[in-house]
Structure 1
Amino acid sequence: MNGRVIGGRYELSTLIGQGGMGQVWTAYDGRLDRRVAVKLLSPVAISGPATAAQELRRRFVRECRVTAQVGHPGLVTVHDAGSDGDDLYLVMQYVEGADLADHLAEQDPYPWPWAVSVAAQLCAVLAAVHAVPIVHRDLKPRNVMVRPDGTVIVLDLGVASVLDTDTTRLTHTGSPIGSPAYMAPEQAMGGAVGPYTDLYALGVLLHELLSGNVPFAGSTALGVLHRHLYEAPVPVRRIRPEVPEALEALVLRLLAKDPLARPSGAQEVYEHLLPLLPPRGAPGPSGPLDPTRPFRRPHAPWPDHAVQAAVPPPPSVPPAPAKPDVAAAVDEVKRLLGEGSLTQAVDMLGGILPAAAAEHGEHSPVVRILRKQYASTLMDDGQYRRALPELRRLAEDRAAEAGPADPQTLQFRYDAAQCLEQLGDPSAALAEYRALLPYFEHGTAPDQQTRAFDIRHRVGLLLLAMGDHGAGRAQLRALLFDAERVHGAYHPLVADLRRALARQQAVDPRL
């Protein structure tokens, strides 16, 4: 028993997990009298300097807020998040069952229909997560729970994203974020990550379930990462001939070195798995922890006893909405933004824009300011899919009015490129960044030079993500030379580039 109380209400009980990213405890919620799981992270231990720890705290709260927006039965529910002393804490539902690594260890061999069922459930989760968009970055058996009714729950969504504050960033120990055995080639090289990165990890996980081992192992992390880059995985049917050919082919596609050669998304992977799933009503093991059960007996009670259904309330006719007061709504948005309530601010801005356009005109200064704030708040809230069309519209309107080289036009286009990158469309993001770069490279103002360096950095990372390692590394080397000449050897960008290049050289000495 620990006895420490976190956040004034969560009493820690038993340590159930510990690693480089923190500790996981069972705890009791004193306010609602329920068992929960509490994950503790120490920003100072992870990030080192106080400024880095403060940035990690800010990102942690934001990431928890974005993660909490994803509603899916295959995701652990986030109840609360905050800081307590020097620690950050995340309060989640307590999930009974076994993690997938233990589940695999108890089966020899792991039944291939079970592997298909686990992967199908993971695809359903990833499809919901990637639609936000969020990239898990650390999908592995230890981050997957199998509940007694056979349903699969994904843990640690967003945690790796918080710790990896940029796609090239390393912890103060110099270790890459993620688990080398499940790390995609673009992640190993420090390139930009996207949904395709999680699909590769899913391929590793599925290979492990079918064969009993990860496709690439080794005595050192660098050795494993090098194998991810250059070695072909052993087809699983050579190890287990009873595995269907279609399943082997799918695993090989998921493990493609080039992200563009992998399936287009989790939805496509699910469609390939669908014919291999057990049909509804098919016989299966009667015991718990059978991941085929959700497909054989969907939503059946577990254990088999009746559950009294809740009686829905009688329908009611909603009142007609009142005409919004635009001025009052703008004041309320300012208050919400000041409090950090981004989701509420987004909803309010989206609600008042049509009324403001009707009252003042679509191209009026008031509507443009509101639309700009709407797009900006959507980005801050991680809603890149909704922000992208708003930014494109703003960029087109501003370019028609002030020209393509106008600073505001360029800012809208840059933000749109960031959305494309976050949405997992590296080729479109790369094209947009390259189109923007000349506008900043020829400028003399310090902010233009800073933006040019930033765009060149993004281009290098995207090239790495798309498998063009030579061009990506050349881009980063050239940027390092220019950044050191302008800023000196101790500038943060210079330090980041040196670490990224050193990591790439360690993973692949041929570059």
Structure 2
Amino acid sequence: MNGRVIAGRYELSALLGQGGMGQVWIAYDRRLDRRVGVKLLRPDRLAGAPDAEELRHRFARECRVTAQVDHPGLVTVHDAGSDGDDLYLVMQYVEGADLADHLAEHDPYPWPWAVCVAAQLCAVLASVHAVPIVHRDLKPRNVMVKADGTVTVLDLGIASALDTDTTRLTHTGSPIGSPAYMAPEQAMGGTVGPYTDLYALGVLLHELLSGSVPFAGSTALGVLHRHLYEQPVPVRQLRPDVPAELEALVLRLLAKDPEHRPADAQEVYQALAPLLPRAGAGREDGTGAEAAGGLPLPVAPMDPTRPFLLPHAPWPGRAAQPAGAARPAVTAVPVPAAGPDGTPGEAYLLAPPASTPPAPAPLAAAQAASAAPGPVPPGAAPPPPAPGVPVPVPVVPGAAPYPAAATPATGTDPRTPAPAGAPGGPDAPVAVDVAAAVDEVKRLLDHGRITRAVDILGGILPAAAARHGEHSPVVRTLRKQYAATLMDDGQYRRALPELRLLAEEFARDPGPHAARQALQFRFEAAQCLEALGEAAAALEEYRTLLPHFEAAPDDAVRPLEIRRSIGHLLLALGERGAAQETLARLLYDAERVHGAHHAFPAEVRRTLEWLARVR
């Protein structure tokens, strides 16, 4: 027993493994008396790490964004926060085996199984990319195969929480992630996007089909060099029974240029769909009926074809047991392991159930993060509503709010009531109290309840527009707060149209202040495009904006930030020469503005040094 209790609730029991930036523990939730997995992160191991408060803020934001993704293929995160110098994630207990062990136990791995695993991963990736979230570290150790054949993705949000503009590289100078599964743009320290996860999916699929990753080596640098410059061996040369269309899909996923990969996870799923087994192709009664690829129907645990052959069917081993009966558990024994590139890793050996089943342990608790709502302390904001539940908006006491479309457009100060008899006055239904809602939003933001604040702002905007006018100062102020809060909450897809609308409105106003505001909103819109993985569109917008910001005499830092983004986007688009030239010139100017030892030029210098190493 370790004895340490995290956040006064989670008692650490046994160390499952540790890596370069953290540890994974089995723990017990004292409040709910359940086993959980706890991952402790050590951000001090990152090069150029920002101050602790900034990192905790970013970590909390990534946790909130991750918590908004609702998909059965994602592990549930119970809690997240900081305890002393550590950031912690508390995850559900996941029963099964990680995909790396599953592959090791089935050699060769049946190609229909590989197709079914990849199809399930596509469904997960489509959900997370829509947020948008980029996993950045998709690999077999971060995928669990459960007894019913379904897969669960782990570690969502961790890499993105630690990968900032000034922490793209670890303390060793290499990019954050697993070299064997790292896309070329990620290997060069460039901007990542959904296309980065699709490359990792291609590596994973190649490994399932051939038994090995396409690019291996004795060092991380050697592996990354092969990702950049070598072509993968087509899987049919290693295994002729793989369908030609499956081989073609793997090669598309492994394209060096993101523009040559499939457009999204949906397109990958559609390519896999003709190869999936048909639902209801047979029975699980041991009659020997066969499914796709000549495989027996899934009567054993952890058969990935089962969700497609028998969708939503109960797991027979579990259904046959009487209520309250103990069932055998697959337990995990942690052992040291090495990755394909020779770096230390975490592995788990599956132990068969004993005659008296031991207490199950979480397998691979290196999982993604978010804080689940607990009891609300006095004065704190209430938890966000469930999806589909209307968001309550503060109203004038004793009155019911109008529907947004029917709200009277009278008055300019939301605190000033309309006269008696007038629409919205004492003799008429009272409209939403925008001022009270704004006060509530401020209180929520002070308590860190950003997602709840976003819901309230989005709810009052239509009512405020109907009452005060779409282009009124009140609505413009609300829209600015709404866009800023969406950005802070990582909801870039929702923030983008608001920022574009604000940029258009301010561009129509006279005066230099309005013009500068319009440029700022366009800059934030470009940041959204970059975060959404739309590298070409973001690059074009940054290049358009750069001369305007360079002409501003009062801000020498913003042009440097734009040039850094341009360099990273050029790397993402495979234009390595142009990127190196851009970053080299940037380094000179950044040292002149910030000094040679500032975090900004230090990060640019590390990127250039890394690019020289992987040449």
Please indicate the TM-score interval, normalised by the length of the shorter structure: over 0.9
Describe the SS at the equivalent of 1:406.
helix
Q: What is the alpha-carbon distance in structure 2 between the residues aligned to residue 26 and residue 318 of structure 1?
A: 37
Q: What is the alpha-carbon distance in structure 2 between the residues aligned to residue 228 and residue 43 of structure 1?
A: 27
- Tell whether 2:518 aligns with 1:409: yes
Question: 1:87 offset after TM fit, Å?
Answer: 1.4
Q: What is the alpha-carbon distance in structure 2 between the residues aligned to residue 318 and residue 375 of structure 1?
A: 18
Of residues 482-491 and 220-229 in structure 1, the stretch that sits farther from structure 2 once superposed is 482-491
Q: CA RMSD in A?
A: 2.1
Q: What is the alpha-carbon distance in structure 2 between the residues aligned to residue 281 and residue 391 of structure 1?
A: 49
Structure 1 residues 89-488: aligned runs within 5 Å:
89-166=88-165, 169-282=168-281, 283=291, 284-303=297-316, 305=319, 322-323=401-402, 324-402=432-510, 406-445=515-554, 447=555, 449-488=556-595
If the length of structure 2 is used for normalisation, what is the TM-score? 0.78
Distance change in 2, residues 1:329/1:484 (3 Å): same
Q: How many aligned positions are there?
A: 498
In structure 2, the gaps of 5 or more residues are 282-290, 292-296, 323-389, 393-398, 403-431
Q: What is the alpha-carbon distance in structure 1 between the residues aligned to residue 312 and residue 241 of structure 2?
A: 30
Distance change in 2, residues 1:334/1:168 (3 Å): closer
Question: 1:171 offset after TM fit, Å?
Answer: 2.1
Q: What is the alpha-carbon distance in structure 2 between the residues aligned to residue 16 and residue 125 of structure 1?
A: 26
Q: What is the alpha-carbon distance in structure 1 between the residues aligned to residue 2 and residue 400 of structure 2?
A: 52
CA contact (8 A) 1:27 1:38 kept: yes
Question: 1:3 offset after TM fit, Å?
Answer: 2.8
If the length of structure 1 is used for normalisation, what is the TM-score? 0.94
Question: 1:170 offset after TM fit, Å?
Answer: 1.4
Q: What is the alpha-carbon distance in structure 2 between the residues aligned to residue 318 and residue 101 of structure 1?
A: 43
Describe the SS at the equivalent of 2:51.
helix
Tell me the amino acid that sits aligned with residue 584 of structure 2: R
Tell me the amino acid that sits aligned with residue 240 of structure 1: R
Describe the SS at the equivalent of 1:178.
coil
CA contact (8 A) 1:168 1:190 kept: no
User: For residues 378-411 of structure 1, what are the alpha-carbon distances to aligned partners after superposition, in whole Å with 9 as ceiling and x for unaligned?
Assistant: 1111111110001011100110113798110001
Question: 1:318 offset after TM fit, Å?
Answer: 13
Q: What is the alpha-carbon distance in structure 2 between the residues aligned to residue 46 and residue 444 of structure 1?
A: 34
In structure 1, the gaps of 5 or more residues are 309-316
Distance change in 2, residues 1:168/1:44 (3 Å): closer
Which residue of the partner structure matches residue 8 of structure 1? 8
Greater Cα radius of gyration, structure 1 or 2 = 2
CA contact (8 A) 2:468 2:474 kept: yes
Q: What is the alpha-carbon distance in structure 2 between the residues aligned to residue 14 and residue 483 of structure 1?
A: 46
Tell me the amino acid that sits aligned with residue 443 of structure 2: R
Distance change in 2, residues 1:376/1:306 (3 Å): farther
CA contact (8 A) 1:76 1:153 kept: yes
Which residue of the partner structure matches residue 358 of structure 2? none
CA contact (8 A) 2:391 2:456 kept: no
CA contact (8 A) 1:15 1:24 kept: yes
Describe the SS at the equivalent of 2:170.
coil
| Structure showing greater relative contact order (alpha-carbon pairs closer than 8 Å, 6 or more residues apart) | 2
CA contact (8 A) 1:167 1:190 kept: no
Question: 1:44 offset after TM fit, Å?
Answer: 2.9
Question: 1:491 offset after TM fit, Å?
Answer: 2.4
Structure with the higher helix share, 1 or 2: 1
CA contact (8 A) 1:391 1:416 kept: yes
Which residue of the partner structure matches residue 86 of structure 1? 85
